[in-house]
Amino acid sequence: MKRRPPTSLIFRFALISLVLLGSTQLANAATTDPLPSWNEGKSKQSIIAFVTAVTKVGSANFVPPAERIATFDNDGCLWSEQPMYFQLFFAIDRVKALAPQHPEWKNKEPFASLLKGDVKSALAGGEKAILEIIMATHAGMTSEEFEATVKDWLATAKHPVTKKPYTQMVYQPMLEVLAYLRANDFKTFIVSGGGIEFMRPWTEKVYGIPPEQVVGSSVKTKFEMRDGKPAIVRLPELNFMDDKAGKPVGISSHIGRRPIASFGNSDGDLQMLQWTTAGEGKRFALYVHHTDAEREWAYDRKSHIGKLDKGLDEAKKEGWTVVDMKRDWKVIYPFEER
């Protein structure tokens, strides 16, 4: 009679047990809904069908894990953007905080109007006014000092309508999409027109997206010695606008490969979705359409913020997924009861 060595016996037990356990887990996975905040329907089905297709080993649509890159716009796609971009609330609060050091702002637009509480007049100068506010409040300090101001602000600031912290105004259904993709070995990236260093301090905690997977607009920076210590200093000069045709450029620069899935909500995301879907193999593009005036905001073709006009036409033409927030989402924010 042959005697088996004990390790071989253990190994056999382990193998058999794992195979059996494995099938139980697979059975569980199949019955657990990865997108519980989504109502059944075309939108939800399209997401699951895509992920199933590209992850099925041996299928013609299979994509190796390393190439499973998914990119997400932030404002209006992962969190709200009304009544104005949240970063602008931050900038305005910074103007107020910095005003004592800038007596000249009392007589200089757009700062004068802002300090009087007249946001509308301050922003009447359009993009130029916004850029002036951003530069005055986002530059001249080190990256680490800026990070601290963002964290401090988020810890206490409340949204004027919901009275909730801004980082709670994220879309529960999209958090589920992020988690679902990552569970299927996707790397999830943010590709936003918002400031890259405005997002990085909180995206890991809120979305599970680490700083190195955040692409955004930026100011120029320089490395210098400050009091004998190395520092990255933020300069009052635009470096890169990660919006519209800038998004594929930002993706190319930061990620270096083409996403196979992209998620947006405005015409600012159109080129990113075009770039994504023009690649070979199975691709996925999704627009969040803001249709829910009661639970969130309803806006599209004529909105100043998050305008979705050309994109809506192209989505229809190309067969992209268009999420109807009102119909498709059971809840909007995580703090709502389901």
Cβ 247 vs Cβ 268: under 8 Å: yes
Q: Which of 143, 162, 167, 168 is close enough to bind a copy of itself by CB under 8 A?
A: 143
- 315 contacts a copy of itself (rule: CB under 8 A): no
- Closer of 108 and 151 to a copy of itself (Cβ): 151
- 13 contacts a copy of itself (rule: CB under 8 A): yes
Reading the block at residue 222, the tokens are: 């320089």
Cβ 173 vs Cβ 328: under 8 Å: yes
**Closest C-alpha to 52, from 65, 61, 43:** 61
Reading the block at residue 321, the tokens are: 């997924």
- 55 contacts a copy of itself (rule: CB under 8 A): no
- 20 contacts a copy of itself (rule: CB under 8 A): yes
CB of 178 to a copy of itself, least distance (A): 16
Task: Kindly indicate which of the ranges 29-37, 169-177, 270-278, 311-319 contains the residues binding a copy of itself, using the contact rule CB under 8 A.
Answer: 270-278
CB of 194 to a copy of itself, least distance (A): 14
x/- mask, a copy of itself, residues 224-253, rule CB under 8 A, reads x----xx-x------x-----xxxxx--xx
- 103 contacts a copy of itself (rule: CB under 8 A): no
Q: How many residues bind a copy of itself (CB under 8 A)?
A: 48
- Closer of 121 and 274 to a copy of itself (Cβ): 274
d(C-alpha 159, C-alpha 172), whole Å: 17
- 28 contacts a copy of itself (rule: CB under 8 A): no
DSSP code string of 168-219: G-B-HHHHHHHHHHHHTTPEEEEEEEEEHHHHHHHHHHHHS--GGGEEEEEE
- Closer of 33 and 224 to a copy of itself (Cβ): 224
Q: Sort 9 into a burial class: Cβ within 10 Å, 0-12 / 13-18 / 19+.
A: exposed
Reading phi first (left if > 0) and then psi (alpha if -120 to 50, else beta), residue 62 is in beta
CB of 337 to a copy of itself, least distance (A): 32
DSSP code string of 20-39: HHHHHHHHHHHHS-S-TTBP
- 314 contacts a copy of itself (rule: CB under 8 A): no
CB of 18 to a copy of itself, least distance (A): 6
- Closer of 170 and 196 to a copy of itself (Cβ): 196
x/- mask, a copy of itself, residues 198-227, rule CB under 8 A, reads --x---x-----xxxxx---x--xxxx---
- Closer of 33 and 212 to a copy of itself (Cβ): 212
DSSP H stretches of helix in the chain = 6-31, 42-55, 86-98, 111-115, 119-122, 126-138, 143-156, 172-183, 196-207, 246-254, 270-277, 310-318, 325-328
- Closer of 30 and 66 to a copy of itself (Cβ): 66
To the nearest 10°, report the CA torsion of 34, 40, 45, 46.
Answer: -110
Q: Which of 28, 256, 304, 338 is close enough to bind a copy of itself by CB under 8 A?
A: 256
d(C-alpha 203, C-alpha 295), whole Å: 24
Q: Which residues, 6 or more positions from 76, have their beta carbon under 8 angstroms from its beta carbon?
A: 265, 266, 288, 290, 305, 306
Residues making contact with a copy of itself (CB under 8 A): 7, 10-11, 13-14, 16-18, 20-21, 24, 66, 69, 143, 187, 196-197, 200, 204, 210-214, 218, 221-224, 229-230, 232, 239, 245-249, 252-257, 271, 274-275, 278
